[in-house]
Structure 1
Amino acid sequence: MIGKVFTGKSAYHCLSYCLEDKWELSEEQKAKLSLEDGLAHKGRAEVLEYNYCFGDKHELSEQFKEVRRLNKNVEKPVFHLSMRLANGDKLTNEQWREVAREAAKEFQFDQNQYVVILHKDTQQPHIHIVANRIGYQGKTANDSNSYLRMAQLCRRMEQKYDLQEVQSPRRFLSPKERQAPRQDQRKERLKEKIVGALNGSKDFPEFEKRITAEGYRVDKGRGIAFEDDKNVRIKGSEVGYSLSTIEKTLAENRRLQFKENLEQQQKFKESIRQGQTKSKIGTGQGKGYGQGQSASPKPGSGSAGGLVKLVNDLLKPEYIGGGGGSDPFEDDEERRRKRKGIRK
């Protein structure tokens, strides 16, 4: 038997993974895979037992939260245990329940809320146990020496149910699973995904959305860790991206984005100023006029020049009553007689 144990912050995300089908598979893909390997890829999760809780992922998450309020100082209030059999071993559903109860006692959450889920989409049957570390008295289940305790629990279950003793877990994997990347390759792949998700992200929610889309679950507390679809957990510091490094990178992204926006605004303002200067030059108001140079453009020098000429013509005295107070509505003959002093 192979066992793993994790502590986490969010019961909702853990329950979503355990209770639902794989999100990356379409309905057609699930049906095709089921025909090929005879496994349940649609409806893969079967709840074997509820302990002091009941419902779907939303209801369970809310129930966990209510009890969590009894001890708000716990940073990671969720236990996530997974236990699987070696090739050829089998257990009944009732035996799986007994194994889960033994695990609950070993990790001291047997009086707390927990749910046991059987997954039926792999050749090796396995269960997931999602538990609230915080009990109804506000006490928290201890997570120290969790790997050693899980190993000891697996050895006991192997003896009790006459199972194969798994000293080297990889030896019991199928040929296909043996081809899965080892830890170092997983780390390299995770590092690449982190770099890609950070590229262009301005804040942590945007980064988390991008890395989640790559198939990783994010566990953020004082530090940060990532879990892939095989429940392999890798700390960010192991691949050179601790929480502080990620936050610094996001802050630098915001600074560069602000600088780029500022430069674009300055270029835009400069283009506006240049456009206004050209407009002033075109209307005779630019630099150099007023120093003996003509402020009016030559006729036919463009639409702007034509407009200025029209305005200048309209401002001549003969149009505005200058030069003797002539009436603009008088005809030319009347104005000529007045200038010569001729009366009718």
Structure 2
Amino acid sequence: MIGKQIKGTGFRGCLNYVLGKKDADLIGGTMCGQTPEELAAEFAIARQLRPNLKVAVFHATLSVDSTQKLEVDVDNDQRWLEIAANYMKAMEFDNNQYAVVKHSDTNHDHIHIVASRIRLDGSVVDDSWDYYRSQEVIRQLERDYNLEAVTPSWETYKRSPTTGEHRYLQSKGNKSVRVQLQDLIDEVTQDNPSMPEFVERLQQQSVEVQVKTTQSELSQGISYKIDGVALSGTQLGKAYTFSGLQKHRGVSYDKGRDNALIEALMQPQHLAIAPGEAERNELESSQSELVASAPATASELESSQSELVAGAPATPATPNELESSQSELETTAPAIPATANELELSQSELAATAPAIPATANKLELQLSILPERNETQWQKVRSHLAVEYSLPLELLDLLHSHSWLYAGSEKAVFTGRTLEGEARFAFVLDERGDFTTTHPLSSEAAFWVATTGEIERAVIACNPIEALSILLIEQEQDNSTTAPATLYLGIERASQLPMEFLQELDSVIIAIAEDSHLARNASALLPDAELVNPPSSWNDIWIQLIEQEQQTQKQNNQQYKRRTQDIELD
């Protein structure tokens, strides 16, 4: 059985998605409502018990593989309801509202459970380590209902050895660097250490650890180096990235508490030690074997030795480095010497391609070529247009403008597409008809984005900047609690613009794009675990309707207040 879970802030949107699917069937739960509207109204009753709780929605999906079926000795829906009840009880939802919806739109049975984390006595279900707890509960359900066991998610987040690594293990009897690092990390995280403790333990095992923060401080990156071979956390597997260590290996991290310690540990005196005497002896033996087996002539051998001495590092290389260098040398060495003409041609090509101006100047020139020229005299006109046509708050527009994420180019609004590090790569240009064009659409891993304060836990993907900003405003309007999960809102034109490595580490990614569009399909293909939310119209239309409803309500309240005042004066 496979289980997924998402925590969110709005019941109505989740219910619209779950019940809006073709062949969706509300099969049970603890509630009376039958429609998204009725169920949302019921959930609102319990929410009044904890009005300041931001993340009140618990959305779980339980499914069996297409090769598996629930036992047919009882009705299929009844068996799913039993599983849902047992799952919710084990997850400590023992006095909570929840609805169970069965979907038949795929080739495998699955249900969605939408629940409130608020118990009817006003207490809240603790969500600490609930991903681990959910996996354990699912393993028990597999045993109870004779379903095939599935490897826990934190195990699947370890990248499997490649075919080459398997062959190397069989021929040499040694583990690859990747497997060595995975095993070491698994060993030193058994007792849930802090991040500085984790770094120090690896250093004691001669592993060099580098922790990096992007300029925007949206994410942390971590890499490991042993025996001269460096691998990023992503190359080891999802559980070995900076956020994955916290989610799947139990490593605790607090920015204020840990950053200074981590920085101190990465100073030179704390880095991994050089190879020891045993490694040097092993290296000399390997070098002797290499020379003995090389089918080279005497002159070629002398030439190779001269080149090797000239390029040799000050400290001996490890066996892994030697094998890697030998492979690279064999791959890149030409079969025959280059002729004089070929050499002259190569030099000419090099001279032709060499930059005539410094790299920084080239970078600035490139940025100017992909971003439309600013025209500050038109900013007030563009600002007014965005506020009137799209109901975007002036405060938000001014904030974006102050960061140069939005400006006036001629008489058009220009939204900059940036990497997560903040580097501008292209621009979205909004014309008078409301259509977007981009200045450099092939730019990868750059998008228009804004983020709420805090360490990002969630991402919402929209089809352009206006839609991304509208979703941000809708979510803030519907629930303005300060406990909201920090969210990254992205506007993209192509799925290739998504920052995949960052998004794959998040627990919740929502593709808020019309599901029948090429963009939604391409984004879903890249992020198969993401939740697809299909808007009934554009998100900006929904935002405008929400504003108009509030204005109408405010107008009615003002009229009622005036009537009451008049009555008082008449009395």
* Structure with max Cα Rg: 1
With normalisation by structure 1, the TM-score equals: 0.48
Q: TM-score, normalised by structure 2?
A: 0.30
